[in-house]
Structure 1
C-alpha cells in the first residue's frame, strides 16, 4: 500500500508528468468529482477525464456531504462521527480544521462567493449551521421547521434552501441577509433537491424528491407553490426492484444548459433523463452498480456520476447516449458526490530513468 503524499495523488499518466516537469511546484486547476463514503473514513477524488480515482482524503469517519470552495482551495466535508465540518486543504488532501457544529450534520453547500458554508443539521432541533470560511467558526444557526437532511445554495447564489424529512418542509433563506424568505410544507418528507434557472439566471423551478415517492415534486420558485408531481417510469418486464437502500428516488441534477433533468431511482436501479421544461422522459439507463443514491454532473453536462451504496462504486453515464461507460470502485457505502475545480499540487516529476 502506498503511503504519504504519493498515495494522496496517484496521477501517473506520462503526458501529465511532462506537463508537471515544466513547473513541478505550481498548483494546477483541475475538474474533479469528490465522492464521500458514508460507512468508511475516507473520501475519494475522481478524475472525470480518465474515470480513475486520483486521490484520497483520510481520517473523516462517517463522512456524509462534500462541497468544494469556489476558488478550489478547500474541500468541506460533513463529519457525522464527530458532528464537525471538516476542512480539507485541496493541495495536500489533509484535514486542516474540524469545526464543531450545533448537532449531527447531513449534507452541506458553499456560498457562491466562498465566504459561507451552510450545513444541514439532522439532529433535533435542527437548523442550518452557518460557517464563516475566514475564521472557520460557526457564526450562527438558521432556524428551520424540522431537522435538515440537505442544504443547498441556488445557482444564482441568492438563496439558501434546506429540506426537512421530519418537518416535511422546504425552508428558504435570503443568502445576503441570512433571514427566512419563505417556507413550503408538503405532505411528504423532503429528500434531495435541485434547481432549474430562468434565462436571466434566477431560479425557475425547485425539484424535490420526497419520502416514499419514486419520483419528484416540482415547485415554482417565484410563487412558492408545488405545480407538478412526477412518477418515475415503471420497470419493464424482466427487471426487478432493488430492495436495499433508503428512499425509492434519491439524487437529481440539472444540466448546465438547462435542457435536461437527471433523476436517480434507487428502487429501479436506474438513471432517468427528463426534458426541460416539458418534463418528458427522454432516456433510461439501468446501472451496473446498485443503489443509485446521488448524482453529480461534469461542468459540460456530458457525463453523470452516480453513487451506488450497495455495490460500493460509482457509475459513469454518458448523457448523450444514456449508456453506462464506466464503473469506478470507491469506498464503503458511497453517498453524496460533487463536482468542482480544485487547486492541485502534483507530486514532483521524475526524469527518465530516475528514481
Structure 2
C-alpha cells in the first residue's frame, strides 16, 4: 500500500478543518445576530425587527400592557416588563402589579415569568447579564432579579415614583429617576444602599450616562430640553433647551374626560414634554426626543451644538442608537411605527410599521 506524503496528510486535515469552520459559520452568525425589540403596550405584544431589511420578522404576544424591554450581553435572551390591566378609568398605567418575563432569543419561547407586587417601570440589566433591576412605581422598594430563573435576589428600600433606571459600565452603581420626589437616586449595587440623591426639581424621565465625561443627562416632565449633571457630586452643569415650540402647550380641560384623553400628553400629569434620550457609543452624538413637537434633535458632544432636527411620527417616546452610531431608532406611539434616523445625514430614512402604541425599544444584544 502506498504511503501518503506528510504534505498530502496535512493538506487533507486542513481541508477538513476549513469545511467544519464553514459549516459552523451560519449557526454562529445566527446566534450573534442583533435585532431590534419593540414593546407595544396597546396591542400587548413585542415586535422583532431585522435591522438589515427594516421589517418585522416576528411578533410575540404578551397579553398584558408592556412597559419595558431589554436584551442581554450575548444576545441569548431578552426580557419584557408588563403591567397588569386593572381596567381603571384612569388608564392602563394605573395599576398595582405586573411581571417580568424572559424569552429565548433563538426560539422566542418564554423561559420564565415572575409576578411582582407593584407597577414595574423602566428596568435595567447589569453589564454581566446576571441581574435585572426593576423600579416599582407604586411601591417603597425596587427588586433585583436573577436572570437565570427570575427569582428575586434582593429588595432595596426606595420611595414611590421610581421610573427610569441606568446601570454604570462597571455595574457598581444604579441610577434611578423618580417622578414623585423629583430626584435621581444613586445606589451601590453591592449593598443596595443609596449613596447620593440628586434633587433636580421636576419629575425625572429618561436618563443617559456619559461616564467618560463624568456626566449624567436626563429629561424632565415639564422641560422642553434636557439637563446635564456631574456624576461625582450631582452638581448641575448645563440646561439645554430644544428648539422652541411653534405654539404654547394648551392647558387641559377641567372635566374628567378631557384629562383622561390627555393622560399621555403634555397638558396633564405626568406632563410628558419630552421622553426619549440616547447617546451613540462613541460619545459623539446625543439624540433627544421632542415628544410634544414630533421630532428628534441631534446634538454633537461635548459642546452640545445642535446638528439639526428630524420630523418623525406622532408623540415619539423612546430612542436607541445602533452599536456603530450610524442610525437612531425612534418609537412613534400615535402612528404605530418606528422611525429610522441617519444620524450623520440628520434625516429619516425609513419608517417601520409595528404594534399599537410602541414605546420602549432595545437591541437584542446589549
TM-score by length of 2: 0.80
The question of 1:221 aligning with 2:221 is answered no
In structure 2, the residue matched to 1:87 is 102
Q: Which of 355, 360, 364 does residue 331 from structure 1 map onto?
A: 355
161-170 or 56-65: which moved more?
56-65
Give the alignment's Cα RMSD to 1 decimal: 2.4
Partner deviation per Cα, 1:17-51 (whole Å, 9 max, x = no partner): xx999857985211111111011221011122221
> Deviation of residue 270 (structure 1)?
0.7
Structure 1 residues 50 and 186: alpha-carbon distance in aligned structure 2, compared to 1, 3 A threshold: same
3-state SS, counterpart of residue 149 of structure 1:
strand
| 8 A contact 1:283–1:322 mirrored in 2 | yes
In structure 2, the residue matched to 1:347 is none
3-state SS, counterpart of residue 310 of structure 1:
helix
Q: Which of 267, 273, 277 does residue 298 from structure 2 map onto?
A: 273
> Deviation of residue 114 (structure 1)?
0.9
Counterpart mapping for 1:124-273 below 5 A? 124-125=139-140, 127-198=141-212, 204-235=214-245, 245=265, 247-273=272-298
CA distance in 1, matches of 2:28, 2:231: 46
CA distance in 1, matches of 2:303, 2:28: 49
CA distance in 2, matches of 1:297, 1:267: 21
Partner deviation per Cα, 1:130-171 (whole Å, 9 max, x = no partner): 001234211222222432111221234331111110111101
> Deviation of residue 179 (structure 1)?
2.5
Q: Which of 134, 146, 155 does residue 119 from structure 1 map onto?
A: 134
> Deviation of residue 102 (structure 1)?
3.1
CA distance in 2, matches of 1:164, 1:55: 34
Q: Which of 66, 76, 81 does residue 78 from structure 1 map onto?
A: 81
CA distance in 2, matches of 1:158, 1:22: 36
CA distance in 2, matches of 1:317, 1:193: 20
| 8 A contact 2:166–2:209 mirrored in 1 | no
CA distance in 2, matches of 1:154, 1:177: 15
User: 5+ residue gaps in structure 1?
Assistant: 1-18, 343-355
> Deviation of residue 268 (structure 1)?
1.4
Structure 1 residues 96 and 319: alpha-carbon distance in aligned structure 2, compared to 1, 3 A threshold: same
Displaced runs of 4 or more, over 6 A? 19-22, 239-244
Structure 1 residues 20 and 36: alpha-carbon distance in aligned structure 2, compared to 1, 3 A threshold: farther
Counterpart mapping for 1:11-26 below 5 A? none
> Deviation of residue 323 (structure 1)?
0.7
| 8 A contact 1:146–1:168 mirrored in 2 | no
Larger Rg: 2
**Could you say which structure has the greater relative contact order, defined with CA pairs below 8 angstroms and 6 or more residues apart?**
1
| 8 A contact 2:277–2:286 mirrored in 1 | yes
TM-score by length of 1: 0.83
CA distance in 1, matches of 2:102, 2:234: 34
CA distance in 1, matches of 2:364, 2:171: 16
Partner deviation per Cα, 1:182-230 (whole Å, 9 max, x = no partner): 11122101111111131xxxx6111111111111111110121122212
> Deviation of residue 83 (structure 1)?
0.8
CA distance in 2, matches of 1:307, 1:258: 22
30-39 or 54-63: which moved more?
54-63
CA distance in 2, matches of 1:114, 1:144: 23
Q: Which of 341, 348, 352 does residue 365 from structure 2 map onto?
A: 341
Partner deviation per Cα, 1:269-313 (whole Å, 9 max, x = no partner): 1110112111121121111x1111100111001100000011111
Q: How many residues align?
A: 316
User: 5+ residue gaps in structure 2?
Assistant: 1-21, 85-96, 251-261, 267-271
